[in-house]
Structure 1
């Protein structure tokens, strides 16, 4: 007797308390564009979670979703899918797996035949009328935000490149950079020992060339193409260089011309003095630049 009640209890636990899945299809033969309804129903859920394909993704590709509704309570789950097919032929609703809690349930497959019921000469109307939808600002933003963001990114990149180029050029041509580079050139000249070896001609040729290049870059004066007399006149007319620095450049350039044409031979002491004065002139040049900028600001 005890064994009988035990068997009955196991039977009820297994089948009486289990979930029941049913599915149905109201039509198996459809006309083109005709709407059919496919339903899935699960009973005795007892609050268990139901996992199934998302809305509008339950049926295969050729099944155009018209409506996909889901109703779920503690003990029942109902899904109703309205669909239409716009192509002739036979189509299959495959076996669909449904996970209820930790249990897998399956529907039965269905075959749907779609036929063209139109006859020759029949007037054909659109199955679905086009809908006019009014778009708001958010809709336009969703449509075109990618292009707007891409345009802004391109503009930002262009501005960044222009800024880098201008900043790099400014840094390269800044007074401090020009001064430092010229001081390095003068140091290279000193290490050639022209003064100690009394190679006065090479000394003045290179000293004046370095100074000409420096004046051209630092003061934007065409010293690299002007003759000595013309350069002196140009400096005096522009007032870009202070009188003290002008005097140094004038004296050393005129002396350099005399040395180059072998009209005078300088002493080591004079060569050393000219080198130091040019080096000091280069170091003081930033004051000339500051004074010139101040004059331009006050104009």
Structure 2
């Protein structure tokens, strides 16, 4: 008998010092979007700290939180979570843990069934009447500013690309650049020492190729496809190349044809004079272009 009384006293003592957790769920069957309330209470805290999940993070994914309030007193803790579910089906509120001091207390799990109470043919009414909202310029700007800025950026990019392509092409074919490139080609020809080695055939073939490419690019003549006689006739009828330059081109090209078909054998002095003549023609070509531009403007 004494042992039973002692055990009862110990049980009462332990129970009196223990924290008590209780939880209630007001509804276990919900309509879509219908609010439900879960309450958790812990009594006999004895001033101990309660740790649990942060606000609006206590319930799993499908449970949309509406309100999450915590009331903490010296000897009691109360948490009320209002939620709703917007998908049909059965969902479980799992065991929730609350740490009181060094002790972990757990709730019981709850199963919630969510049903669609709407019937076919039911009239669905808005909770509130639609309101007409007038938007001003700032409102429209906030709505569409990223589209407008993106469109402006796209237009600017297109303009930049257009002018880049246009002027890069123009620069590559500008009279000055074409002239300098051809002068470099002539210098490379000179370094091959065809004149010094009396290799007149190779010299004239390359000299005339360089000259034809130059005339095609600088004057926009079809010099690369026309025969010598046709090119000379084309130059004289076009009047773009000065008479002085025409005479040099005609003289060198005709001599080049004779050399090519072994009808004449020029000496070194003649080859040097022809090289110098073409070189001077290339240098003077910009004056022809400038004069032609002024003439076309007039």
Range into which the TM-score falls when normalised by the shorter chain = 0.5 to 0.7
Compute the displacement of 1:295 (Å): 3.3
Aligned to 2:110: 111
Aligned 1:162-241 pairs, distance under 5 A: 162-241=162-241
Are 2:281 and 1:281 aligned?
yes
Aligned positions of 1:42-121 closer than 5 A: 53=54, 55=56, 57-65=57-65, 67-68=66-67, 81-85=81-85, 86-92=87-93, 94-95=95-96, 108=107, 110-114=109-113
User: Does the CA-based 8 Å contact 1:21-1:107 persist in structure 2?
Assistant: no
SS in 2 for 1:225: coil
Could you report, residue by residue, the CA deviation over 1:59-102 in whole angstroms, capped at 9, with x for unpaired residues? 2222234x3366899x999875432234343521542569x9x9
Question: 1:240-270, CA deviations, whole angstroms, 9 ceiling, x for partnerless residues?
Answer: 2233222221222233334334444333212
Question: What's the offset of the Cα at 1:193?
Answer: 2.4
Rounded to whole Å, the distance in 2 between the matches of 1:113 and 1:141 is 46
Aligned equivalent of 1:242: 242
- Cα separation, 2, equivalents of 1:205 and 1:113: 96
Instruction: Output the CA distance in 2 between the equivalents of 1:87 and 1:167.
Output: 65
1:114 is paired with a residue whose SS is strand
CA distance in 1, matches of 2:199, 2:286: 31
The whole-number CA distance in structure 1 between the counterparts of 2:275 and 2:143 is 71
147-156 or 30-39, which deviates more: 147-156
CA distance 1:23–1:240, shift in 2 (3 Å): farther
How many Å separate the matches in 1 of 2:195 and 2:71?
A: 102
Q: How is 1:262-281 mapped onto 2 (pairs within 5 angstroms)?
A: 262-281=262-281
Q: Cα offset for 1:220?
A: 0.5
2-side partners of 1:254 and 1:128: how far apart? 96
Matched residue SS, 1:68: strand
Q: Distance in 2 between matches of 1:123 and 1:220?
A: 80
Contact 1:211 1:278 (C-alpha < 8 Å) held by counterparts: yes
Alignment check: 8 A CA contact 1:28 1:111 kept: no
After TM superposition, the structure 1 stretch with the greater mean CA deviation from structure 2, 207-216 or 191-200, is 191-200
Cα shift readout 1:126-160 (whole Å, capped 9, x = no counterpart): 69869858695888777777766666666566555
